[in-house]
Amino acid sequence: MLKRTAGLRRIAPLPLLLWMSTTSCDGRHEPSSEPPLRPLLYTEAGNVDEGFEREGWEAWTTVGVDPHTFPSSVTKPAYEPLEEDGFDLHSPEGLIRTAYFAATHGDLEALQSLTLTEEGLQSIARVPPSRVEQRYASLQKDMQNFMQSFRPDSPTDARPDGLSGLVQPTAIELGLPRRIDGSLVATADEAEMYSSNRLRIHVLGSSIDFDIHFPRILKDADDQWKFSEGPVVSDIWHNVRRPGLDLKPALLKGEHAPFPFDVGNYWHYEMKRIPLDGSISADEISPTRSLAYRDTVSDVYNGNIFQIVTLRRTFADPARTPQTRRLLVTARHIYTCSPMCHQRRNNLRYLLDYMSRTTPLFVFPANRTLNWREGGREGGRTTRMAERSQESIIVPAGSFKNSIRIHPTARGETEVIYFEEGIGILREEHRDGETLEQANLVQYRILR
């Protein structure tokens, strides 16, 4: 029986703001040491006695280290995976259990000890001598990647139990017992290899299940079962992690919110139409009064680990009909929310699939230059980019020195958005033929 992990804590999403036109649903990692958005209160580390070292707070104020992550009996319980009851490497199930607990507790040394040695890869797994060294190094790297799948992306996100408190192993499913050559055997006692194995895992507090696949498990010379190939974690779990649905509650409290999505908040914009031929500068052009508009938060659906925000756009021109747009907001990403996304807002499995196929409008935190594509994935052919603006953005609502600039990475695209943490979108620019349409923030209301 697998050991039961801690229960899922309910978390509230991190509100953010971004307005863009709706995109199709068919069509997002931080550095390992970024600080929290604000210094977490030292008392949030738990109940500690007066003798607990105060250097944690000093470290935060001087070098940006989060005291929440300091090793202590409060924040990092002792862990000895190979001494847990039921961890017996003389069975394939015991090997899988040991690997899971080592990975979720961040014990890389124990995890990497569960692979065949270089000698074993050659003599048992029949890897050619010329490839043994490379295969062993790759296998060790695979075990490290497996551990990272269950560790926080940064010290700020760290939990005392890693991410094991969010998931519950439910079943181990082994393939048929085989010999090394792949032939089937009649009984488990004769088995030398198991392939196509998996560990089923449930995400607590949700309807989500995912698998860890263990392609090949072989018996070594000491009759202990070892890995000859690295575990592979299902994309479903990565789809949970990328948008930040796994973050700890302390990080997701309202005071962290860089953009306010409270009902009643609004942002009023004026619009300029600027010729792209350079015949006249933007400063010389007066706003077109009839093109002004206001975006107001009219509704927020709270899904605990995500929000669906409804924005109502009204226009200065009384002849124009108001428009409604919805955003799917998580701790790390913002997506447009299609009608089907809104209709199936109670179906987390559907929303995970939707987010994995949709390119986020925004990826947070933008404390460095970020590039992303569908699902917020980095690498490959990215389609959007966020970076800190190198110049002050001056709009009627004020002058801002630390805004973030978002723009597509594809050539020929001219859409640019500037926004300020705690305020919202400052400016949007979009090319319409030979004219640049520029919307500038005039007035805003933040109800908090």
pLDDT higher than 50, residue 42: no
Total domain count for the chain?
A: 2
Q: How far apart are CA 442 and CA 243, in angstroms?
A: 31
Q: What is the pLDDT of residue 205?
A: 81
User: Of the residues 190, 218, 241, which one is the last residue of a structural domain?
Assistant: 241
295, part of any domain = yes
On whether both 179 and 301 belong to a single domain, the answer is: no
Residues 277 and 219 in one domain: no
User: Do residue 343 and residue 270 come from a single domain?
Assistant: yes
**Sequence-separated (6 or more) residues with CB below 8 Å from residue 65:** 35, 56, 59, 155
Look at residue 413 in the predicted model and tell me its pLDDT: 64
Confidence band for 258, pLDDT divided at 50, 70 and 90: low
Is residue 31's pLDDT more than 70? no
Which tokens belong to 309? 């925000």
Shared domain for 259 and 326, answered yes or no, is: yes
Q: What share of the chain in percent tops pLDDT 90?
A: 51
pLDDT beyond 90 at 198: yes
- Percent pLDDT > 70 in the chain is 77
Over range 408-412, report the average pLDDT. 75
In this structure, the answer to whether residues 202 and 261 fall within a common structural domain is no
Of the listed ranges 4-8, 51-55, 184-188, the one predicted with least confidence: 4-8
Query: Is 225 found in the same domain as 264?
Result: no
Q: Which of 241, 261, 279 is the last residue of a domain?
A: 241
**Phi, psi dihedral angles at 374 (to 5 degrees):** -60, 140
Residue 80's pLDDT band (cuts 50, 70, 90): low
In a domain, 267, yes or no: yes
pLDDT-based confidence at residue 254 (cuts at 50, 70, 90)? low
56 within some domain: no
pLDDT at 75 exceeding the cut of 60: no
Higher pLDDT, 355 or 206: 355
Residue 213 forms part of a structural domain: yes
Mean pLDDT over each residue of the chain, to the nearest integer:
80
Domain CATH for 410: 2.40.360
In a domain, 374, yes or no: yes
Are residues 306 and 224 part of one domain? no
Q: What is the pLDDT of residue 278?
A: 79
Is the whole model's pTM more than 0.85, yes or no? Answer: no
What is the span of the domain harbouring residue 96? Answer: 77-241
Residue 357: pLDDT over 90: yes
Domain shared by 236 and 331, yes or no: no
Q: What is the pLDDT of residue 166?
A: 85
Phi, psi angle pair for 112, to nearest 5°: -75, -20
Average pLDDT in the 353-375 region?
89
Confidence at 350, pLDDT banded by 50, 70, 90: very high
- 287 with 429, same domain: the answer is yes
Q: State whether 308 and 425 are in the same domain.
A: yes
Q: Which domain-ending residue is among 193, 215, 241?
A: 241
Q: What is the CATH number of the domain that holds 102?
A: 3.10.450
Give all strands of the β-sheet with 384-388 in edge-to-edge order. Answer: 362-363, 333-336, 323-329, 307-315, 293-302, 266-275, 435-445, 424-432, 416-420, 404-408, 384-388, 370-372
Residues 317 and 350 in one domain: yes
